[in-house]
Amino acid sequence: MLTSLEIKNFRTFKHLRIERLGQVNLILGKNNVGKTTLLEALQLYGSRWPARTALDILEGRGEIGGTNRPGAVVNLRSLFHGRQAEPGTQSSIGPATNGDGSRVFQVAKIEEDVDYDKALTAGQQPAFSLVPQFAVEYRFGSDPVSTWTILPSRRVHSFMAGPLSSADMTTNPKPPLLRLTSAASMLNETAVRWDSLALTTGEQDVVGLLQTIAPIQGVRYIETAMGRVAIVQIEGKTDPIPLMSQGEGTVHVFQIAVAMVHTAMAWKKVAERDQFPNMFPGLLIDEFEVGVHHTLHADLWRFVLKAARELGVQVFATTHSWDCVRGFAAAVQDVPQCDALAIRLERSRDRSAAVSFTPEEMKIVVREEIEVR
């Protein structure tokens, strides 16, 4: 578990220090304070393949695209604060307690002025993929430096140091850290994750978690005209019914349960924990409130708090919603000794800061309707 966090020179954050993190963290704050960036930083910190993760993040934000087109310029500058990136510029993400435990990204080389069209028409060596545009080194503590280089013809080429080969990137795509973004894409991802749990104890774990909210005895995905649909077996019923018919809350719980169990199981399989002390089993949820009816927040949080503890998964969720805050506050009162924090990010001029509220304080926040978002 990550117990504190310090981010330097990464995107929105010139410097952010969070002294304490809980097992379950609700991230609050106004627009543009860096809630999503915080999740991105965690994603990058805990990633086994930061080069790929960095590109996924930038693509997800629409900051880069069309990277397969020859000559497309992939700008990695936005990974660095103020988009200021010169050779030697560093950003780092890690626990606040220990500078050596940070993951560091450093600009190694920039060659942005290569005119690939001209190079093509001049009939030059077509293997221009060897020409680096923007190279970023990354290292973890005193690990040997690895470099990833953005090439014009291929998205990314990563020169891995250490025991991982680039083949591992594709054959072992189960990171112990998951990010849930929008509800729509979650449905497909959930099906894939569910498949990966097939016939494992993880399947029973998910059903066990579902039973805390509904008398569900089993889940299957079946092929229909509308694609793959989850059906559930309900206690005392002969025929299965679609999971969807159980209501949005149940679907949400299912998606989160699958992601959490998936994360916990992926973590168990991580063999090289010593070599990657940055990895941790985590679930990052953007906009927790999306698709959740206001009456369901407390139930959903109670579920997340219990599941996080049982599975040993650390959760970070962002929200703008007061209903979500209230549900979180109610849930942290109900789940005894839960290690949960509400953390508001603030930004003023070029400074960033985190303001935390304990479960005990959240009780007062909600009772007195104190604005903490």
Q: Which residues would be at the binding site for other proteins (CB under 8 A)?
A: 30, 344, 346-348, 351-355, 357, 361, 364-365, 367-373
> Quick check: 25 and 316 in contact, CB under 8 A?
yes
Which is nearer to other proteins, 280 or 357 (by Cβ)? 357
Shortest Å distance, C-beta 223 to other proteins: 49
Residue type, 268: K
Shortest Å distance, C-beta 361 to other proteins: 5
Shortest Å distance, C-beta 16 to other proteins: 11
Shortest Å distance, C-beta 332 to other proteins: 15
Which is nearer to other proteins, 246 or 352 (by Cβ)? 352
Nearest CA-CA partner of 92 in 139, 23, 152, 26: 139
131 CB-side CA count, 13 A: 20
Q: How are beta strands 90-94 and 103-110 bridged, if at all? A: antiparallel
Shortest Å distance, C-beta 14 to other proteins: 12
Which is nearer to other proteins, 304 or 354 (by Cβ)? 354
Nearest CA-CA partner of 79 in 160, 150, 9: 9
How many whole angstroms separate alpha carbon 110 and alpha carbon 87? 7
Which is nearer to other proteins, 139 or 363 (by Cβ)? 363
> Quick check: 149 and 135 in contact, CB under 8 A?
yes
Structure tokens at 231: 């059906």
> Quick check: 256 and 285 in contact, CB under 8 A?
yes
How many whole angstroms separate alpha carbon 325 and alpha carbon 22? 16
Which is nearer to other proteins, 323 or 346 (by Cβ)? 346
Which is nearer to other proteins, 145 or 370 (by Cβ)? 370
Structure tokens at 159: 């020169």
> Quick check: 155 and 52 in contact, CB under 8 A?
no
Shortest Å distance, C-beta 29 to other proteins: 9
Shortest Å distance, C-beta 21 to other proteins: 16
Shortest Å distance, C-beta 364 to other proteins: 5
Which is nearer to other proteins, 248 or 360 (by Cβ)? 360
Please report where in the chains the tokens 């996924």 appear, as a residue.
56
Other beta carbons within 10 angstroms of residue 348's beta carbon come to 8
Which is nearer to other proteins, 16 or 243 (by Cβ)? 16
List, in order, residues 6 or more apart from 164 with CB less than 8 Å away. 48, 49
Nearest CA-CA partner of 104 in 37, 28, 50: 50
